[in-house]
Amino acid sequence: MRQRPGIALVLCAPSGAGKTTLSRRLLDDFPAFAFSVSCTTRDPRPGEVDGRDYAFLSKESFITLREAGHFAEWAEVHGNFYGTPLAATLETLASGRDLLFDIDVQGAKQLKETLPQAYFVFILPPSKAVLERRLRGRGSESEESVAKRMANAGREIAQAVWFDALVINDSLDEAYADLVAAYRAATLSPGRRPDIVTEFITEWE
C-alpha cells in the first residue's frame, strides 16, 4: 500500500459550538490521529498534563521560541499566548500520522500560509440564539462573559467563508458524521495526496 503523508485537520469554532466534544470523539474513533500539542502560557487546569494537553511555558520562554521561528502560528487568546510548534508538526505529518489541531481562527489563518496542505473545518452552532442558550446553559459563564463570547463568535464566524468545510452542530451525531466526511474528503484531495499524484503522473509519462 502507498504510504501517504499525514492529514492536518484543523478545527475552529466559536466557544460553545461543541468543538471539544467533536474532536475528542474523532481522536477516540481514529487511533491513527495524533492531537497537535500546542504551547501555551496559561496555567494548567486540574487534570491537564504537561506535554499531553499543552506544553506549559513561561511567557519569557514562549517569546524566545517565537522569536526563534519555532511556531507555525501563534495567537494571543484571552490574555495568554498559544502556538503550534512547526518542526514537530512537520515530523508527525511526514511519518504518515494524521494530526488534529484545535486552534483559534487567527491561528488558523496563519496556518493556511505556513501549512497550506492543511484541511480547515469550521464548526458552527445552528443559530445565534442556540449558541447563546448553550453558553448560558453551562452555568459557569457570567453575563459579561456570555456577551464577550457572543461578540467574539460573530467575528470568528465572519471568517468561516474561507474554510474547506462547514459543519453545523445541531444534532451532535449528524455533526460528527459530517466531520468524519470532511476528514475523508481531505484524504481524497489531490493536493493532500502527492503520493497518488506522483505515482500516476510518472506511470503515464
Residue choice 84, 93, 135, 179 for contact with ligand 5GP (CB under 6 A): 84
Query: Is 131 in a helix, a strand, or coil?
Result: helix
| Among 61-69, 79-87, 166-174, 196-204, the segment contacting ligand 5GP (CB under 6 A) | 79-87
Rounded CA-CA distance 194/62 in Å is 34
Residue choice 10, 57, 75, 93 for contact with ligand 5GP (CB under 6 A): 75
- Does residue 167 belong to the site contacting ligand 5GP (CB under 6 A)? no
Strand spans (E) along the chain:
8-12, 33-35, 38-40, 54-56, 71-77, 80-85, 98-102, 119-124, 165-168
Cβ(135)–Cβ(46) below 8 Å: no
How crowded is residue 99: how many other Cβ atoms within 10 Å of its Cβ?
A: 23
| Among 24-32, 75-83, 121-129, 132-140, the segment contacting ligand 5GP (CB under 6 A) | 75-83
Residue choice 23, 41, 102, 118 for contact with ligand 5GP (CB under 6 A): 102
Report in angstroms how near the CB of residue 5 gets to ligand 5GP at its nearest.
Answer: 21
Instruction: Decide whether 104 or 178 has the Cβ nearer to ligand 5GP.
Output: 104
- Does residue 73 belong to the site contacting ligand 5GP (CB under 6 A)? yes
Instruction: Decide whether 41 or 178 has the Cβ nearer to ligand 5GP.
Output: 41
Residue choice 23, 38, 41, 169 for contact with ligand 5GP (CB under 6 A): 38
- Does residue 14 belong to the site contacting ligand 5GP (CB under 6 A)? no
Residue 156 is given by DSSP the state H
- DSSP assignment of 85-99 equals EHHHHHHHHHTT-EE
**Partners of 9 in beta bridges:** 100, 119
Greatest Cα-to-Cα distance within the chain, rounded to the nearest angstrom: 64
* Residue number with the smallest Cβ distance to ligand 5GP: 107
Residue choice 6, 16, 18, 107 for contact with ligand 5GP (CB under 6 A): 107
Strands 54-56 and 71-77: what pairing? unpaired
How crowded is residue 159: how many other Cβ atoms within 10 Å of its Cβ?
A: 15
Counting every residue written for the chain, the total comes to: 205
Binding site for ligand 5GP (CB under 6 A): 38, 42, 73, 75, 77, 82-84, 102-104, 106-107
